[in-house]
Amino acid sequence: MSMLEFRTQGFNPYAVKYSPYNDSRLAVATSANYGIVGNGRVFALGLTARGIQVERTYDTNDAQYDLAWSEINENQLIVACGDGSIKLFDVGVKDFPVMNFHEHKRETFSVSWNPITKDTFVSSSWDGSIKLWSPTRQDSLRTLPIGSCTYSTAFQPSNPSIISAVSNGTGLSLLSVAQDEARQPLASAEFERKAFLDGAEYILKALPADLSPLELDRLRTSTPRALVLGRQGCPQGCNSSMPSAQCHWPCGHAAASSSSSARPRRSLLHRWVQAAVVQMFILAHLALPYVVLLARLAARAEREYNISHNLASAGWGLVHSIGAQVVKATGTLCGIGDGRVGQAIAEAVAWAVEGVSGGLSEGVGQGMVIMGASRQ
Protein backbone atom coordinates (compact mmCIF):
# COMPACT_ATOMS: atom_id res chain seq x y z
CA MET A 1 0.00 0.00 0.00
CA SER A 2 1.47 3.36 -1.04
CA MET A 3 0.63 6.55 0.83
CA LEU A 4 1.33 10.20 0.11
CA GLU A 5 1.90 12.46 3.08
CA PHE A 6 1.90 16.24 3.47
CA ARG A 7 2.64 18.13 6.68
CA THR A 8 1.09 21.51 7.44
CA GLN A 9 4.17 22.80 9.24
CA GLY A 10 3.30 25.03 12.21
CA PHE A 11 -0.45 24.53 11.78
CA ASN A 12 -2.92 21.90 12.96
CA PRO A 13 -5.26 20.62 10.21
CA TYR A 14 -9.00 20.75 10.84
CA ALA A 15 -10.66 19.89 7.50
CA VAL A 16 -9.81 18.52 4.07
CA LYS A 17 -12.01 18.61 0.94
CA TYR A 18 -11.59 17.39 -2.64
CA SER A 19 -12.49 19.65 -5.53
CA PRO A 20 -15.74 18.58 -7.28
CA TYR A 21 -14.13 19.45 -10.63
CA ASN A 22 -10.67 17.90 -10.31
CA ASP A 23 -9.96 14.75 -8.32
CA SER A 24 -6.25 15.65 -8.14
CA ARG A 25 -6.91 18.91 -6.30
CA LEU A 26 -7.76 19.27 -2.63
CA ALA A 27 -7.62 21.89 0.10
CA VAL A 28 -6.83 21.79 3.82
CA ALA A 29 -8.02 24.27 6.49
CA THR A 30 -5.62 24.63 9.43
CA SER A 31 -5.18 26.58 12.67
CA ALA A 32 -2.18 27.50 14.78
CA ASN A 33 -2.06 26.19 18.35
CA TYR A 34 -5.10 23.92 17.80
CA GLY A 35 -7.33 26.92 17.19
CA ILE A 36 -6.94 28.28 20.72
CA VAL A 37 -4.96 31.35 19.75
CA GLY A 38 -3.22 32.50 16.58
CA ASN A 39 -3.97 32.64 12.88
CA GLY A 40 -5.02 30.09 10.27
CA ARG A 41 -3.84 28.99 6.86
CA VAL A 42 -5.61 27.24 3.99
CA PHE A 43 -3.52 25.06 1.68
CA ALA A 44 -4.61 24.46 -1.93
CA LEU A 45 -2.81 21.26 -2.93
CA GLY A 46 -2.34 19.31 -6.13
CA LEU A 47 -1.64 15.59 -6.50
CA THR A 48 1.10 15.11 -9.08
CA ALA A 49 3.56 12.44 -10.17
CA ARG A 50 6.11 14.10 -7.89
CA GLY A 51 3.81 13.90 -4.90
CA ILE A 52 1.67 16.52 -3.17
CA GLN A 53 2.47 20.04 -4.35
CA VAL A 54 1.33 23.33 -2.83
CA GLU A 55 -0.54 25.40 -5.39
CA ARG A 56 -1.46 28.28 -3.11
CA THR A 57 -1.69 29.22 0.58
CA TYR A 58 -3.83 31.92 2.20
CA ASP A 59 -3.41 33.21 5.75
CA THR A 60 -6.22 34.48 7.96
CA ASN A 61 -6.09 36.43 11.22
CA ASP A 62 -7.98 33.73 13.12
CA ALA A 63 -8.29 29.94 13.19
CA GLN A 64 -9.86 27.99 10.30
CA TYR A 65 -12.29 25.17 11.13
CA ASP A 66 -13.81 24.08 7.82
CA LEU A 67 -13.84 24.73 4.07
CA ALA A 68 -15.79 23.85 0.92
CA TRP A 69 -15.02 24.06 -2.77
CA SER A 70 -17.33 26.09 -4.98
CA GLU A 71 -19.79 24.14 -7.13
CA ILE A 72 -19.85 26.84 -9.86
CA ASN A 73 -16.20 27.89 -10.09
CA GLU A 74 -13.43 25.30 -10.07
CA ASN A 75 -10.86 27.76 -8.64
CA GLN A 76 -12.86 29.09 -5.70
CA LEU A 77 -13.33 27.83 -2.13
CA ILE A 78 -14.85 29.18 1.07
CA VAL A 79 -13.25 28.94 4.54
CA ALA A 80 -14.98 29.07 7.98
CA CYS A 81 -12.97 31.21 10.42
CA GLY A 82 -12.80 31.56 14.18
CA ASP A 83 -13.73 35.26 14.15
CA GLY A 84 -17.18 34.42 12.75
CA SER A 85 -16.31 35.30 9.15
CA ILE A 86 -16.43 33.24 5.96
CA LYS A 87 -13.83 34.04 3.32
CA LEU A 88 -14.04 33.25 -0.40
CA PHE A 89 -10.66 32.61 -2.01
CA ASP A 90 -9.80 32.24 -5.69
CA VAL A 91 -6.73 30.15 -6.48
CA GLY A 92 -6.00 32.51 -9.37
CA VAL A 93 -5.75 35.50 -7.01
CA LYS A 94 -2.82 35.87 -4.61
CA ASP A 95 -2.80 36.74 -0.93
CA PHE A 96 -6.31 38.07 -0.26
CA PRO A 97 -9.89 36.76 -0.37
CA VAL A 98 -12.12 37.94 -3.17
CA MET A 99 -15.10 38.25 -0.79
CA ASN A 100 -15.65 38.34 2.97
CA PHE A 101 -18.94 37.34 4.63
CA HIS A 102 -19.21 38.35 8.28
CA GLU A 103 -22.51 38.13 10.19
CA HIS A 104 -21.92 35.35 12.73
CA LYS A 105 -21.23 36.64 16.25
CA ARG A 106 -19.12 33.65 17.30
CA GLU A 107 -16.83 31.07 15.67
CA THR A 108 -17.98 29.69 12.31
CA PHE A 109 -17.56 25.93 12.56
CA SER A 110 -18.89 24.57 9.28
CA VAL A 111 -19.62 25.50 5.65
CA SER A 112 -21.36 23.46 2.95
CA TRP A 113 -22.05 24.26 -0.70
CA ASN A 114 -25.41 23.37 -2.23
CA PRO A 115 -24.69 20.43 -4.60
CA ILE A 116 -28.02 20.75 -6.47
CA THR A 117 -28.64 24.43 -7.21
CA LYS A 118 -24.89 25.23 -6.87
CA ASP A 119 -25.66 28.93 -6.29
CA THR A 120 -25.81 29.00 -2.46
CA PHE A 121 -23.86 27.79 0.52
CA VAL A 122 -24.69 27.43 4.21
CA SER A 123 -22.73 28.04 7.41
CA SER A 124 -23.16 27.09 11.08
CA SER A 125 -21.74 28.83 14.12
CA TRP A 126 -21.29 28.75 17.87
CA ASP A 127 -23.77 31.65 18.05
CA GLY A 128 -26.60 29.11 17.55
CA SER A 129 -27.58 30.03 14.00
CA ILE A 130 -27.38 28.71 10.46
CA LYS A 131 -27.02 31.22 7.62
CA LEU A 132 -27.73 30.80 3.93
CA TRP A 133 -25.46 32.75 1.57
CA SER A 134 -24.99 33.57 -2.09
CA PRO A 135 -21.42 34.01 -3.39
CA THR A 136 -22.57 37.10 -5.30
CA ARG A 137 -23.65 39.19 -2.26
CA GLN A 138 -22.14 39.89 1.15
CA ASP A 139 -25.40 39.88 3.11
CA SER A 140 -26.89 36.52 4.03
CA LEU A 141 -30.04 35.39 2.26
CA ARG A 142 -31.60 33.89 5.38
CA THR A 143 -30.85 33.17 9.03
CA LEU A 144 -32.19 30.02 10.68
CA PRO A 145 -32.04 30.18 14.50
CA ILE A 146 -31.07 26.88 16.13
CA GLY A 147 -30.63 28.14 19.70
CA SER A 148 -27.55 26.12 20.59
CA CYS A 149 -24.01 25.69 19.40
CA THR A 150 -24.11 24.16 15.90
CA TYR A 151 -20.95 22.28 15.00
CA SER A 152 -21.76 21.09 11.49
CA THR A 153 -24.34 21.61 8.78
CA ALA A 154 -24.93 20.22 5.29
CA PHE A 155 -27.42 20.22 2.43
CA GLN A 156 -29.35 17.06 1.69
CA PRO A 157 -27.77 15.61 -1.49
CA SER A 158 -31.13 14.99 -3.21
CA ASN A 159 -33.18 17.98 -2.00
CA PRO A 160 -31.75 21.52 -2.18
CA SER A 161 -34.30 22.84 0.34
CA ILE A 162 -33.39 20.51 3.23
CA ILE A 163 -30.59 21.49 5.61
CA SER A 164 -29.43 19.25 8.44
CA ALA A 165 -27.38 20.35 11.44
CA VAL A 166 -25.50 18.72 14.30
CA SER A 167 -26.58 20.40 17.52
CA ASN A 168 -28.64 19.79 20.66
CA GLY A 169 -31.89 20.23 18.72
CA THR A 170 -31.46 18.72 15.26
CA GLY A 171 -35.15 17.94 14.84
CA LEU A 172 -36.15 21.40 16.01
CA SER A 173 -33.72 22.98 13.57
CA LEU A 174 -35.52 21.31 10.67
CA LEU A 175 -38.84 22.56 12.01
CA SER A 176 -37.37 26.06 12.11
CA VAL A 177 -36.42 25.69 8.46
CA ALA A 178 -40.04 24.93 7.61
CA GLN A 179 -41.38 27.85 9.66
CA ASP A 180 -38.86 30.24 8.19
CA GLU A 181 -39.68 29.09 4.67
CA ALA A 182 -43.37 29.70 5.36
CA ARG A 183 -42.64 33.34 6.23
CA GLN A 184 -40.97 34.02 2.87
CA PRO A 185 -42.98 35.89 0.18
CA LEU A 186 -42.49 33.04 -2.31
CA ALA A 187 -42.73 30.17 0.15
CA SER A 188 -42.97 26.62 -1.16
CA ALA A 189 -45.88 24.80 0.47
CA GLU A 190 -44.44 21.43 -0.54
CA PHE A 191 -41.07 22.20 1.07
CA GLU A 192 -42.72 23.60 4.21
CA ARG A 193 -44.81 20.44 4.62
CA LYS A 194 -41.91 18.05 3.98
CA ALA A 195 -39.53 19.87 6.32
CA PHE A 196 -42.15 19.92 9.09
CA LEU A 197 -42.84 16.18 8.74
CA ASP A 198 -39.10 15.40 8.69
CA GLY A 199 -38.64 17.31 11.93
CA ALA A 200 -41.58 15.54 13.59
CA GLU A 201 -40.22 12.17 12.46
CA TYR A 202 -36.78 12.88 13.96
CA ILE A 203 -38.35 13.95 17.27
CA LEU A 204 -40.40 10.72 17.46
CA LYS A 205 -37.29 8.64 16.76
CA ALA A 206 -35.49 10.43 19.60
CA LEU A 207 -38.13 9.50 22.23
CA PRO A 208 -36.69 7.43 25.12
CA ALA A 209 -37.48 3.72 25.15
CA ASP A 210 -38.53 3.67 28.84
CA LEU A 211 -41.63 5.87 28.62
CA SER A 212 -43.96 5.57 31.61
CA PRO A 213 -47.68 4.74 31.20
CA LEU A 214 -48.59 8.37 31.94
CA GLU A 215 -46.18 9.62 29.26
CA LEU A 216 -47.52 7.10 26.76
CA ASP A 217 -51.08 8.24 27.47
CA ARG A 218 -50.10 11.87 26.84
CA LEU A 219 -48.54 10.97 23.49
CA ARG A 220 -51.53 8.82 22.46
CA THR A 221 -54.05 11.57 23.20
CA SER A 222 -51.94 14.01 21.12
CA THR A 223 -51.63 11.63 18.16
CA PRO A 224 -53.72 12.60 15.10
CA ARG A 225 -56.77 10.40 14.56
CA ALA A 226 -55.75 9.39 11.02
CA LEU A 227 -52.28 8.32 12.17
CA VAL A 228 -53.74 5.85 14.71
CA LEU A 229 -56.64 4.55 12.63
CA GLY A 230 -54.90 4.19 9.28
CA ARG A 231 -57.21 2.61 6.68
CA GLN A 232 -59.00 0.15 8.97
CA GLY A 233 -61.06 2.45 11.21
CA CYS A 234 -60.64 1.85 14.93
CA PRO A 235 -57.32 0.37 16.08
CA GLN A 236 -57.20 -3.41 16.38
CA GLY A 237 -58.45 -4.53 19.78
CA CYS A 238 -60.56 -1.39 20.31
CA ASN A 239 -63.55 -1.96 22.60
CA SER A 240 -66.17 0.44 21.23
CA SER A 241 -68.56 -0.32 24.11
CA MET A 242 -66.34 1.46 26.59
CA PRO A 243 -67.20 5.13 27.28
CA SER A 244 -65.10 7.68 25.43
CA ALA A 245 -64.02 9.27 28.72
CA GLN A 246 -62.05 6.11 29.53
CA CYS A 247 -60.45 5.90 26.09
CA HIS A 248 -56.78 6.78 25.47
CA TRP A 249 -57.05 6.61 21.66
CA PRO A 250 -58.14 9.48 19.38
CA CYS A 251 -60.93 7.32 17.95
CA GLY A 252 -62.97 7.76 21.13
CA HIS A 253 -62.90 4.04 21.95
CA ALA A 254 -60.72 2.16 24.39
CA ALA A 255 -57.90 0.08 22.92
CA ALA A 256 -57.60 -2.99 25.06
CA SER A 257 -54.62 -4.44 23.23
CA SER A 258 -52.61 -4.14 20.03
CA SER A 259 -52.70 -7.93 19.59
CA SER A 260 -55.13 -9.73 17.30
CA SER A 261 -57.19 -11.23 20.16
CA ALA A 262 -59.18 -9.16 22.66
CA ARG A 263 -57.92 -9.09 26.20
CA PRO A 264 -59.74 -11.62 28.46
CA ARG A 265 -62.03 -10.27 31.16
CA ARG A 266 -60.35 -10.07 34.56
CA SER A 267 -61.76 -12.20 37.34
CA LEU A 268 -63.17 -10.85 40.60
CA LEU A 269 -60.17 -12.23 42.52
CA HIS A 270 -57.84 -10.52 40.03
CA ARG A 271 -59.50 -7.14 40.62
CA TRP A 272 -59.55 -7.60 44.41
CA VAL A 273 -55.85 -8.46 44.55
CA GLN A 274 -54.99 -5.55 42.25
CA ALA A 275 -56.96 -3.09 44.39
CA ALA A 276 -55.42 -4.50 47.58
CA VAL A 277 -51.89 -4.19 46.23
CA VAL A 278 -52.50 -0.59 45.13
CA GLN A 279 -53.82 0.27 48.60
CA MET A 280 -50.81 -1.44 50.16
CA PHE A 281 -48.49 0.70 48.02
CA ILE A 282 -50.28 3.86 49.12
CA LEU A 283 -50.11 2.83 52.80
CA ALA A 284 -46.47 1.79 52.45
CA HIS A 285 -45.64 5.13 50.86
CA LEU A 286 -47.28 6.97 53.77
CA ALA A 287 -45.84 4.69 56.47
CA LEU A 288 -42.31 4.44 55.06
CA PRO A 289 -40.68 6.80 57.61
CA TYR A 290 -42.23 4.86 60.50
CA VAL A 291 -41.21 1.53 58.97
CA VAL A 292 -37.60 2.74 58.80
CA LEU A 293 -37.78 3.78 62.46
CA LEU A 294 -39.23 0.40 63.50
CA ALA A 295 -36.55 -1.40 61.48
CA ARG A 296 -33.85 0.45 63.39
CA LEU A 297 -35.48 -0.43 66.75
CA ALA A 298 -35.86 -4.08 65.66
CA ALA A 299 -32.22 -4.26 64.63
CA ARG A 300 -31.18 -2.91 68.03
CA ALA A 301 -33.41 -5.46 69.85
CA GLU A 302 -32.06 -8.27 67.66
CA ARG A 303 -28.50 -7.43 68.65
CA GLU A 304 -29.41 -7.46 72.33
CA TYR A 305 -31.77 -10.49 72.62
CA ASN A 306 -31.04 -12.64 69.52
CA ILE A 307 -34.78 -12.87 68.74
CA SER A 308 -34.51 -14.24 65.18
CA HIS A 309 -32.57 -17.35 66.29
CA ASN A 310 -35.13 -18.23 68.95
CA LEU A 311 -38.08 -17.70 66.58
CA ALA A 312 -36.48 -19.80 63.85
CA SER A 313 -35.81 -22.69 66.24
CA ALA A 314 -39.36 -22.67 67.57
CA GLY A 315 -41.04 -22.15 64.20
CA TRP A 316 -39.23 -24.87 62.28
CA GLY A 317 -40.86 -27.72 64.22
CA LEU A 318 -44.31 -26.14 63.86
CA VAL A 319 -43.90 -25.68 60.08
CA HIS A 320 -42.68 -29.26 59.68
CA SER A 321 -45.67 -30.77 61.52
CA ILE A 322 -48.23 -28.59 59.69
CA GLY A 323 -46.67 -29.43 56.33
CA ALA A 324 -46.89 -33.15 56.99
CA GLN A 325 -50.57 -32.88 57.94
CA VAL A 326 -51.34 -30.77 54.84
CA VAL A 327 -49.69 -33.29 52.51
CA LYS A 328 -51.60 -36.15 54.12
CA ALA A 329 -54.94 -34.32 53.90
CA THR A 330 -54.33 -33.32 50.26
CA GLY A 331 -53.62 -36.91 49.26
CA THR A 332 -56.84 -38.10 50.93
CA LEU A 333 -58.94 -35.40 49.21
CA CYS A 334 -57.46 -36.05 45.78
CA GLY A 335 -58.33 -39.75 46.04
CA ILE A 336 -62.06 -39.16 46.69
CA GLY A 337 -64.41 -39.81 43.76
CA ASP A 338 -61.82 -41.45 41.49
CA GLY A 339 -59.71 -38.31 41.37
CA ARG A 340 -62.49 -35.90 40.33
CA VAL A 341 -62.15 -33.98 43.58
CA GLY A 342 -58.41 -33.69 43.01
CA GLN A 343 -59.01 -32.33 39.50
CA ALA A 344 -61.47 -29.76 40.84
CA ILE A 345 -58.99 -28.73 43.50
CA ALA A 346 -56.24 -28.36 40.87
CA GLU A 347 -58.48 -26.17 38.71
CA ALA A 348 -59.44 -24.03 41.70
CA VAL A 349 -55.77 -23.62 42.66
CA ALA A 350 -54.87 -22.67 39.05
CA TRP A 351 -57.67 -20.09 38.98
CA ALA A 352 -56.54 -18.66 42.30
CA VAL A 353 -52.89 -18.51 41.22
CA GLU A 354 -53.79 -16.81 37.94
CA GLY A 355 -55.98 -14.24 39.67
CA VAL A 356 -53.48 -13.50 42.42
CA SER A 357 -50.48 -13.27 40.07
CA GLY A 358 -52.34 -11.06 37.59
CA GLY A 359 -53.63 -8.81 40.35
CA LEU A 360 -50.17 -8.57 41.91
CA SER A 361 -48.57 -7.67 38.57
CA GLU A 362 -51.05 -4.94 37.67
CA GLY A 363 -51.30 -3.70 41.24
CA VAL A 364 -47.52 -3.35 41.56
CA GLY A 365 -47.36 -1.50 38.23
CA GLN A 366 -50.18 0.84 39.22
CA GLY A 367 -48.64 1.40 42.64
CA MET A 368 -45.25 2.28 41.12
CA VAL A 369 -46.95 4.80 38.82
CA ILE A 370 -48.75 6.39 41.79
CA MET A 371 -45.55 6.59 43.85
CA GLY A 372 -43.63 8.02 40.91
CA ALA A 373 -46.30 10.67 40.31
CA SER A 374 -46.30 11.63 44.00
CA ARG A 375 -42.52 12.15 43.94
CA GLN A 376 -42.85 14.50 41.00
Q: Is residue 26 part of a domain?
A: yes
* Predicted pLDDT of residue 64: 95
* Predicted pLDDT of residue 223: 79
Domain boundary residue among 168, 192, 220? 168
Q: Is residue 150 part of a domain?
A: yes
* Predicted pLDDT of residue 211: 85
* Predicted pLDDT of residue 70: 96
Q: Is residue 215 part of a domain?
A: no
Instruction: Answer yes or no: pTM beyond 0.85.
Output: no
* Predicted pLDDT of residue 36: 81
Say yes or no: 142 and 281 in one domain. Answer: no
Say yes or no: 164 and 274 in one domain. Answer: no
Domain count, the chain: 2
Domain boundary residue among 117, 145, 168? 168
Residue 132's CB is within 10 A of a number of other CB atoms, namely: 18
Q: Is residue 353 part of a domain?
A: yes
Say yes or no: 161 and 38 in one domain. Answer: yes
Say yes or no: 142 and 276 in one domain. Answer: no
* Predicted pLDDT of residue 22: 93
* Predicted pLDDT of residue 189: 66
Q: Is residue 264 part of a domain?
A: no
* Predicted pLDDT of residue 221: 82
* Predicted pLDDT of residue 6: 92
Say yes or no: 154 and 276 in one domain. Answer: no
Query: Can you list the residues of the chain whose pLDDT is less than 50?
Result: 171, 175, 231, 236-237, 240-246, 248, 250, 252-262, 375-376
Q: Is residue 212 part of a domain?
A: no
- Structural domain of residue 348, as residue ranges? 270-371
Here the CATH number for the domain that contains residue 164 is 2.130.10.10
